[in-house]
Each structure stands twice: as C-alpha cells, then as structure tokens.
Structure 1
Amino acid sequence: MELVEGAVPAPIGGNLVTGQPGTVDVAEEVVLRADSVVHRGGVGIGESAHAPNIPAPEHPSCGTMSAMRIHVAADHAGFELKAALIEHLRASGHDITDHGAVAYDALDDYPPVCLAAGEAVVADAGSLGVVIGGSGNGEQIAANKVTGVRAALAWNVETARLGRQHNDANVVAVGARMHSTSEALAIVDAFVAEPFSGNERHQRRIDQMAAYETR
C-alpha cells in the first residue's frame, strides 16, 4: 500500500482516500503501513515524511595516534593537570614542549603562557597545542589572539574530534576544574588523534576566517 505524496494518512482503521473512519482491520492496516514504509525506504515513527535529504556527517576516524609535536601551557588552575598530561603524552610517544607555568603560583595569569603556546604552534608547522585553565574559556580566548591559531574549547571527546575534523583546530582548550584527569586525558587524546576532514565546505569557512584575520 503506497502512501500518497503530500497526503495526510487517515487514522488507523480509516479510509486513506477520504480520511474517514472505516472498517479496515486495524492490525492488518498497521502491518500494511509498516511494510509500505520499509519498501519505500521511507521514514519511521516520529520522523517527517518530507524531511530534507541531509547528508550524513563525517564519522570520526578514531585512528591511531601518530607521534606529534605538542605545545602545552597552563595557569595555576591547570598546573596539576598539565603535569599529568605531559607525562601521558610523552608516554604515548609525542614530543612535548612545556610553555609554563613552570611553578605553581595561585596568582599567576594565563594570557602570557597561552599566547606563547599559540605562537609556538603557528611557528611549528604541523604541531598542535593544548592550553589548560579552570574552565578553558580564557585560555581559548587568549590563544585565539595569535594570528593563525584556531583554538577550540572541548568539553567532551566528541567536541574535541569535531574541532579537528570540521574546524582544523590546532589548539584545544581544556577546563581542569570541569573534568576528572582521565576525562581530560581522553579529550586531548581524541583531539590529537583526529585529522582534519579536508571537506571543501569546512576548508572554505576556515579560509573565510583566515582572510578576515589577515585583512
């Protein structure tokens, strides 16, 4: 039984042409309608019959991490996590440069270290950066002041992957007070492992931002 394009199906047990109640066996009609949807490759319960055909998003590659050069920076709020992250990344074979803070100081400021890490990433083609603070917000803002930096604030593994996959982010900001150590390490691992998709529409948007940045 084929549903008419643009028509509103009648109530179960009703006439599909008039939309009026009828005497069709309800159980039989449910089966027929379900069969129609399956054979048409159509939509299921709760979906629109006229929804646009939206391409599926790129699936994260979840590839293995190759050795990377990674520039890391943190203020006092991220100091402890930075130490754990550096140890973790070095154990994974990555080449790590620590841009500070070099000692814990509860009154230190995040802009200098984040700017230093951002400048290092831009100067070191193919490298990545990680900036860490309490929430990651200020660190992301500071790093993004460096021309050529695309810093993404990641709050879970998926946003870390998307930052790389869609935005070709070269720096990730992480909030040390927002995550357990294991969660934060997983976020950074996902960011480092995920490549840029190279999709034309994503590259076009990145180019638009770069053109504005250098005008």
Structure 2
Amino acid sequence: MNSMSREAARTVEKFRISDRRGERFVKISSLNKPARTARRTLPKKYNRGEIMRIGIAADHGGFELKVQLSIALKAAGYEVTDFGAHELVTGDDYPDFVAPLAKAVARGEVTRGLAICGSGVGACVAANKVSGVRAALITDSFSAHQGVEDDDMNIMCLGGRVTGYALSRDLVMTFLSARFKAEERFKRRLAKVEALERERT
C-alpha cells in the first residue's frame, strides 16, 4: 500500500470511528474523492429554464470558504446573492449574516442557501430560528442529497474550519442537484415539523 493509500485508509477509519453509533454506515469512502456524478449532473438551470438562485452567508470563520464557493457557483452558472460578510473582520457575529439569508430563503427570494461559520454549528442554529427554514450541518455526500430528498432541506451549513474547499464544493453541488421526493410519508413528517414551528411562543 503506497503512502497515499495509507493516508486515505487512515482518513476513512477516522470517519468510521467518529460516526460509529450503532447506526448503519453511509459510504464514508466517498468523502475522500470528488463527487464526479454531482458535477456531471450540475443543474445550471432550474424550473423551466430559470437559473437557480443561491444565497450565501458567512462570518469570519467561513469567509474564505464563502469567497471560494461563490466563485465556483458563478462559474457553474448559478445566480449568487452574497449576504455577507463582505470583508474579513475577526470577531463579527454569524447571526448578522445568516439571519438575512435565512429570511430570504423563507420568502422564496433565493431558492437555496449556504450558511458558513467556523464549525457550521452556530450558523445552523441561527438559520433554524427562521420559520420555513430547514437547515442542516452537512459533512458527507449522503446527507447532502438525502436531506433534500427526504426532509426538503433548503439551507446547507458548513464549517469553514472543519471542511476543506474541495469537499465543500462537492457537497454543495450534491445539495443543489438534489430534489425533494414529495412522497406522502415525507410530506406527513414535514407537516408535523411545521406544526412544531407554529407552537413556538
């Protein structure tokens, strides 16, 4: 086994150890290579020729990744709205950027959103405070599409200090390629989630 193969094996094992909770594994090995299928089927156009509108937001912890992903998305033909930060300011606050993004997603002003902070956790917490938003912190390709197909996820959250650019790009393309299945069981579950939103005081 060459050094590259040994490194890949160690990376796979690291994910296996951290994800072992008595649940079935997803294809962890896919984290170590580009999502080629996602790029081949990249939907530059959305419904009836309309360009998919993507919103993106990040604090200082995700600023560099936001810039990189914005460039990649525009090159792929997406319309990108940047909700900030527009300059790198150490100590800025993620809700200031994530909240406007989340509200734009909820109002339908952008089709989907990308929210980034250092770990992705804070961005996810903030985004989910907005009714109509279904945000999730994503680190693997299975969740990137399954979250849309089953749960109608409309904001993907990423950790700028956790997930590198290459993997983040592939996860984003997988997320944007996925479509909600709209099967009865999924719609029933989402209706229950929406009922919980209405119970908020």
Unaligned runs of 5+ in 2: 1-36, 46-51
Question: SS at 1:132's partner residue?
Answer: strand
Task: Give the alignment partner of residue 43 of structure 2, picking from 62, 65, 68.
Answer: 65
Aligned to 1:159: 143
Task: Give the alignment partner of residue 159 of structure 2, picking from 165, 171, 175.
Answer: 175
Aligned to 1:40: none
Distance in 2, Cα, partners of 1:126 & 1:71: 6
Aligned to 1:185: 169
Distance in 2, Cα, partners of 1:177 & 1:126: 26
Distance in 2, Cα, partners of 1:136 & 1:107: 16
Greater helix percent: which structure?
A: 2
What is the TM-score normalised by the length of structure 2? Answer: 0.74
Question: SS at 2:115's partner residue?
Answer: strand
- The alpha-carbon deviation at position 146 of structure 1 amounts to 0.5
Deviates more, 1:159-168 or 1:125-134: 125-134
What is the aligned-residue identity percentage?
A: 37
- The alpha-carbon deviation at position 214 of structure 1 amounts to 2.0
Unaligned runs of 5+ in 1: 1-60
Higher-Rg structure is: 1
Aligned to 2:185: 201
Q: Which has the higher contact order (CA 8 A, sep 6+)?
A: 2
- The alpha-carbon deviation at position 125 of structure 1 amounts to 5.7
The one-letter amino acid of 1:155's match is T
The question of whether the paired residues in 1 share the 8 Å contact of 2:118 and 2:159 is answered with yes
- The alpha-carbon deviation at position 66 of structure 1 amounts to 3.6
- The alpha-carbon deviation at position 202 of structure 1 amounts to 1.1
The one-letter amino acid of 1:182's match is A
Runs of 4+ residues over 4 Å off in structure 1: none
Distance in 2, Cα, partners of 1:66 & 1:92: 6
Aligned to 1:19: none
The question of whether the paired residues in 2 share the 8 Å contact of 1:66 and 1:193 is answered with no
The question of whether the paired residues in 1 share the 8 Å contact of 2:54 and 2:110 is answered with no
Matched ranges for 1:49-198 at <5 A: 63-67=41-45, 68-124=52-108, 127-198=111-182
Distance in 2, Cα, partners of 1:208 & 1:214: 10
- The alpha-carbon deviation at position 113 of structure 1 amounts to 0.6
**RMSD over aligned Cα, in angstroms?**
1.5
The one-letter amino acid of 1:77's match is G
Distance in 1, Cα, partners of 2:129 & 2:113: 14
